[in-house]
Amino acid sequence: MITHNELRLLPWSGPEGKSCYLSTDDADGYLSRLADSTEAVQLRLAAELLEASDVLGDRDAGLEELRVLAVDLPGALRDVLRVAISRGHRLSAPEFGDGEEDGEGPRLPAAAFG
């Protein structure tokens, strides 16, 4: 039986906005490559929108520029979040010393906070 953690969350939604998942052992299969390509496009678009967000601090920016940015940013954020969740599910947990014995899951090293 395949568990939820063995399924790949795909970077697109199905009918009625529901999540789509892929069950495969072939990371080089057609759907896996299509998902990888789609994620790359989504991340590139988000990076471009982030660069364009400089318009938010521009007092001379036109209403249309602001409107386009405001419409596009939530979708890009939703896509990036989906990519992050998908990739996070596919990360393999360390075998030893992962901190899971206390039920809190893996921890970042203290240096990451400094």
75-89: pLDDT as tens digits: 999 999 999 999 988
- Look at 75 and 4; give whichever has higher pLDDT: 75
Q: Please enumerate in sequence order all residues whose Cβ is within 8 A of that of 90, keeping only pairs 6 or more positions apart, or say none.
A: 8
DSSP at 100: G
Mean residue pLDDT across the chain: 81
- Binned at pLDDT 50, 70 and 90, residue 92 comes out as low
What was the pLDDT predicted at 56? Answer: 85
Beta bridge partners of 22: 8
Q: What is the pTM of this model?
A: 0.68
Task: Give kind and range of the element (H or E) at residue 10.
Answer: strand 8-13
Is residue 111 predicted with pLDDT exceeding 50? no
- Binned at pLDDT 50, 70 and 90, residue 22 comes out as very high
Mean pLDDT of 9-36: 92
